[in-house]
Every structure is written in structure tokens, then in C-alpha cells.
Structure 1
């Protein structure tokens, strides 16, 4: 088989995206979704693998800024739209795209690459490690109550159209980004993504709605949701509130929004697909046993430039360790790196000093945002301590006060 990896040309997008849809299966996306993805696609960062005159592989990258521990927004390649046609599986098509893509990311000067995985087992061999988790909740609001903090009664709630509230919601979101590692600063065009509302995305709910939380006329939070009407033959109304997203700038506004969602007429449950693993709502509810809680993978992260990536974040405790990094797919990272840093900043440079810890690029990606400890990885045999005490020191330093979380896919 002779294939060629080429940069996507704008006039090829429809064919290219159609092949992506075919590889993932199911009905085609709505015209609304497709138009937005076309607008957001960075063709100069997108790849097509050709076999003759046929596209057999697709991959793209978005130019993101990712929040990291310490609050910095670090340029990161958002790997996306990866597919291989079923006729060309296990022939090196994916590897050729990953090779070209990471080389391009390095040339662009981005120290991080991130992705969400349809099949998580695939990307470890390319150096991506699971860096965040997301919690799914289905709360029985007939049996669960909320403990509301002081000041909740001062919050005014107002229902507005999502489009009319877009600017206010984006202002709240922008203030939240630096406070939690793993969040994405919205680049131009991405403010439209939370407003997508084709019927295919509603899961039986009505149109998308938005409620604003205000204090003294200032918007302090928002929630976007739809109501799915369900009627039991014997029990009557049993609807579900399907929550798209919730963000707030203070505990009172956050609690007021959840209290609103809990109290909607003709409903008996609130469902949300993705919240941080340490979401405050878990401490507001009265009975965790009445909440269907599920945890799944979120963001996968790869350090494309080890030195620059480790210097871009801060550290929860003083650290001075030599990391022996193994990186077969990006060999420029392989070798020993001295990391020295604290809450104010860090340096990371190559060294010939003896190593204190040994790990691969995959484990470094998993630990990078502070959601998973180096100690836990060591207990699984994935990090090796070479100097007594180095593991505890580095594990404490890499930790984050809040759990990292990716708020939306890409």
C-alpha cells in the first residue's frame, strides 16, 4: 500500500469530513453542527492521508490555550477528528498521522498536545496519558436535598435565551479558566459551541434554556439546560432536567443555580454528563447514595517539549529532582531532566546528574495537571524511584489543590 500524508486544502473539507463521519458511524450530523465544525477547522493544521485519489485517514489540531497548575494558559495543540477508514486499519495510517502531527506541533513551539479519546487504549503508545476525569451525575431530586450556604437568598435568578446570554456567560467562564487546570480558554468561534442545540443533541429534551444568577445586577453564574418530559402511566410527571453546564464565581451563586435546577416543576431528577471529580455540588447534596455517580476518562495529555512544559506550570511544594524520561515516539525528550521549582515558578533543563525518578512520557502526561499522583503511578509500577525520598517530594509538588477538568470536548 502506498499512501501519502498531506495538509488539508479548504476545498477538500466536505469529502474529508464525510470520511470522518463514515469512520465513526451513525447518522450524519445536523447541518448546524457541520457548519460550526467547518468554521472551526484549522485546515493548515489538519491532515489527510490519501491512497490514490481517496481520503483514508483524517486528523486535525486546534490552537488552544490550556490552564495548568499555577494559572498560566499554555499553548496546546488540541488533537481532533482522528479517523482511519475500515479498509485501511492496521496499515500504519494512524501512526503516520501521529508522527507528522507531533513533528508539526514541535515546530510550532507548542509544548503540549491534548485530546479526548473515543478509544482510550489507542493513544498511550503515542505518549498520551490520562490527565483528567469527569463525573457523571443523575440525582433523584425527590429524595435529595441541598444544604445552601449563606447568601444564597440574595441571588436573583433570571431565565434568558442562551444566545442573548452568551456574552455574560462567556465572561463568567473566562474568569473560571485559570482557577482549574485542564480548562480551555475560549478561542474566537468557540463561544458558539455551548449554544449548539440541534434535536439530535437533546436526548428527548426541549430547547436549550439558560438561567443567570445575579447579585446586585451583576451576573455571577449561569446554567444551561433542557427539560425532558417523562410521564408514568401510574405515577404522573417524572421528567428529567438535562444540564449542559453550570459555572459560577462564588458559592452562593453556584448553590442557587443547583437549587433552581432541583426545583423545576414536573421533574424528579437532574442529570449532568460532566463535572469535576471534586465538584462542590457533591458537598451540597444530602445523600450521595441517591445520586447515580459515574467516573470516566476526560482529557489525555502529552508533553511535546518536556523542558518547556514543566517550566510552564508551578508546583505545590518545593521540588528539585532529576527525571529520567523515556520517550520512544518523540525521542528528543528522552534523557535526564533536572526540575527545580515551587509555587512561584520552575526551571527544567537537561542534566548529566544521576536520576531520581524514571518514567515515560505517558506517565509524565498523566501527572502533569496534578489530577493523578506520581505515588499512585509508582504503586502501579509505572514510575520508578531511584533516590529514596524523591517520589514523595515530586508527588507532593506535582499535586493540584483542585482536580483538573476539561469542561467540553473538541
Structure 2
């Protein structure tokens, strides 16, 4: 029998080192551990012990509380799942399944409507009801190109932030704009201590800048040198964090980054799929798409609450949802014509909870999911209605790694 335990505070460093080893990283140092420890929430770090040596942990996971922006302007309480790992000699024995099920039930009991994570391996989490809900692309924009189109947005003022002030200034800007876009999430103080403090303390070069629009600070960017060993005038800047409230702020921050001397290009990972960089450049080939991939993996824990949070204004659709872990979520729901509600009627469309997550934020249309076999169709006329109900004006995007 596999026993999942809530870890004590004095076990957290061992749990972190176990997680780091599962992704082939080294253990925390005395200098880095205080930053890494900040992301642990009391009572949410889980562990499984070695059945032959109970003093040793062989699996671990944790989560912290956040809020997720959904289409229509609402936001929902979310469990941000992170630091999940099983020791290499104990994999494929059910430890991960036991731990994930425990964690999801705990999050549901806490009133969190959804859970989300970043998946190191894409084949793992679908079986637990997670689905890809946001995606991003990597870009590399060369500085030696044709530059900006004359009519491209310019934005407002951009000011640099001193290294010593980064952790005082940027969290407030992010908090203000984090939920402007579906898929966005809030960041607790521990996120900043863990994810950005290392760059602030250790990066040889750190550029941070804030954009100010008509209503105040509404965007920022953080960048470091991607490879300081490259030729002096061709070194790329690597953007580690860039959030902006609108296209004006986005354009101004990219203009700032591309105007930094003695660099050859600006690189960024998992940017929004609809960020209009190419459209703002004189030669769109100056912006090269270097990668594309999944970003947020979403698990809906409370289907009635999640569906009720959507605007769903339009001609209604009856959707059957199946959830093997939380049977109370299973049923037929009417979307449209008011808040979503459960009904006793035959469905027009059907999906499992993972496939619902893929459409929930507006990333993938129900018709596309049906064409690929993710959704089942009982009435073909319902697909166009479902597309209108679950579509959005912008593609969802998060922009926060955890």
C-alpha cells in the first residue's frame, strides 16, 4: 500500500533535492535554499517514503494557491502544482498516481476550482484529467534587420529599474495586469523569491524595464545575456519575463529590448501565439519562430463552478462531461442562455474532463477537438454553437513558469 504524507517543515529541503534530482539538477546550496524554500506553502508539500528505508523520500509534489483568469473577466481559485518527482529507481510503481490523486482531492477540498502545472513530459498528466489549455512559441528577433514599420505602435515611456529595486517594483506591476488576459495567473511572494531572485542576485547582466501608459505602469520586461561567450556584438538577450497590458506596452518593451547596443538578437521562450511582433516589423522575417509548445496544463476540479464562471452568452449547447476521479463532476450541462447548469437531458456533445480543459480557456475550438476525436458529437449542428460559446477574442496565455 502506498502512503502519501504531508511533509514537515524540516523535510522540505530533502524533498526539494529529490525533485531536483528527478529533473537532473543538483541539490540546493546553502545560498540558494532560502529562495527555493519560499515557494513551499505550509501543509501542501507531499511525500512518499521508501518502504525499505522510511527515512528516505522517494516521491514528492507540492502546490501553492493562485488565481486563474478565465474568458469573460472572472477569475478562479487555482492550485499551482509544482516540484513533482519520483526517484528514478521507484518509477512506474503507482507512486505518482497515488500522490497526484491525493493532491487533486486536497485542492478540491480547499475550494480550488482548477489545478494547473507545467509538464516536463507530455505523456504523463492526461491520465489525471489535465489538458493543454494554453500554448506559446519561442521567438528570436534580429537587431540587424529592417527595423520597425513606420506605423507600428510605439507605446509610452520605458524606464530601467535598478537591480536592487527589481523585487520591489515588478511584483506590483504584475499584480495589476496578471488577470487581464484569459490564462493569466497571480504570483505569490514566494514565486518572486524563488524564480526571479536568483537572476537578480547572480546574473552577470540583468536588464529590467517598466512601461508606463496613460493609466500608470502597465508592463515590464526582464532580460539577461543568453550566452555571454558569443561574439561581443552578436550576444543575444534572453527575455525571462515580459508582461504587458496591451499592444502599446508590448511594442514599447520590445522596442526597448531591440535597442540595447552590443547585442545581436533578442530571444524569448513561450511567448503568446498571437503576439503581433511580425506585423510590427518592416521585414517579418526578422522575427524567427524557434519553437512552439504547450504551456498551461489545466485540470478542472469543480466542473459546475468552472462552467458557471464563463459568460457563455449565445444559443445553448448540451455538453456531457465525464470525470473518472471526481464522479460528481460527471453529467450533462447546458452552456449558453444564462449561467451553465446541469440538466437531465440527452447531450449534443460529449468529452472527458481533460478535453474540456483544452477548450475551456479558448485555446482550441470544440470543432477542432471533435475533428481529432477528443470530443464526441451526437448532433453536428451543435459544434458551431459550441465554438461560439467557448471561443474568445484573444488566445489564452499565462507567461508564468512554476
TM-score (norm 2): 0.90
Match of 2:311 in 1: 314
Does the 8 Å CA contact 2:174/2:243 hold for their aligned counterparts?
yes
Deviations 1:109-137 (A, max 9, x none): 22211111000110011110000001111
Does the 8 Å CA contact 2:182/2:396 hold for their aligned counterparts?
yes
Alignment of 1:69-108 (within 5 A): 69-108=71-110
Report SS of the residue matched to 1:309.
helix
Alpha-carbon distance in structure 1 between the residues aligned to 2:117 and 2:69: 14
Alignment of 1:18-37 (within 5 A): 18-29=17-28, 31=30, 33-37=32-36
Match of 1:268 in 2: 264
2:117 to 115, 122, 132: 115
State whether structure 2 residue 389 is matched by structure 1 residue 389. Answer: no
Alignment of 1:9-408 (within 5 A): 9-29=8-28, 31=30, 33-52=32-51, 53=54, 54-147=56-149, 149=151, 152=154, 155-193=156-194, 195-198=196-199, 206-214=204-212, 218-227=216-225, 228-229=227-228, 232=231, 237-293=233-289, 294-315=291-312, 317-341=313-337, 346-349=339-342, 351-408=343-400
Q: 108-117 or 168-177, which moves further after superposition? A: 168-177
| 1:336 positional shift | 1.9
In structure 2, relative to structure 1, the CA distance for the partners of 1:61 and 1:252 (3 Å cut) is: closer
Report SS of the residue matched to 1:137.
strand
Report SS of the residue matched to 2:336.
strand
Report SS of the residue matched to 2:124.
helix
| 1:142 positional shift | 0.6
Q: 107-116 or 143-152, which moves further after superposition? A: 143-152
Does the 8 Å CA contact 1:21/1:28 hold for their aligned counterparts?
yes
Q: 162-171 or 103-112, which moves further after superposition? A: 162-171
Deviations 1:328-357 (A, max 9, x none): 233222222233356xxx2322x2211110
In structure 2, relative to structure 1, the CA distance for the partners of 1:170 and 1:108 (3 Å cut) is: same
Q: 138-147 or 374-383, which moves further after superposition? A: 138-147
Report SS of the residue matched to 2:260.
coil
Report SS of the residue matched to 2:93.
coil
Does the 8 Å CA contact 1:7/1:43 hold for their aligned counterparts?
no
Does the 8 Å CA contact 2:200/2:206 hold for their aligned counterparts?
no
Alpha-carbon distance in structure 2 between the residues aligned to 1:68 and 1:365: 12
Report SS of the residue matched to 2:63.
strand
Report SS of the residue matched to 1:256.
helix
Alpha-carbon distance in structure 1 between the residues aligned to 2:134 and 2:158: 31
Structure 1 residue runs of 4+, over 6 Å off?
none
Alpha-carbon distance in structure 2 between the residues aligned to 1:210 and 1:108: 36
Does the 8 Å CA contact 1:172/1:248 hold for their aligned counterparts?
no
Does the 8 Å CA contact 1:168/1:219 hold for their aligned counterparts?
no
Does the 8 Å CA contact 1:324/1:358 hold for their aligned counterparts?
yes
In structure 2, relative to structure 1, the CA distance for the partners of 1:195 and 1:18 (3 Å cut) is: closer
| 1:182 positional shift | 1.0
TM-score (norm 1): 0.89
Q: How many residues align?
A: 397
Report SS of the residue matched to 1:43.
coil
List alignment gaps of at least 5 residues for structure 1. Answer: none
Alpha-carbon distance in structure 2 between the residues aligned to 1:23 and 1:253: 39
In structure 2, relative to structure 1, the CA distance for the partners of 1:67 and 1:84 (3 Å cut) is: same
In structure 2, relative to structure 1, the CA distance for the partners of 1:310 and 1:32 (3 Å cut) is: farther
| 1:100 positional shift | 1.1
Identify the structure with the greater strand proportion: 1
| 1:220 positional shift | 4.2
RMSD: 2.5
Deviations 1:253-282 (A, max 9, x none): 432221221122111111111211111323
Alpha-carbon distance in structure 2 between the residues aligned to 1:78 and 1:175: 19
List alignment gaps of at least 5 residues for structure 2. Answer: none
| 1:225 positional shift | 1.3
Does the 8 Å CA contact 1:197/1:207 hold for their aligned counterparts?
no
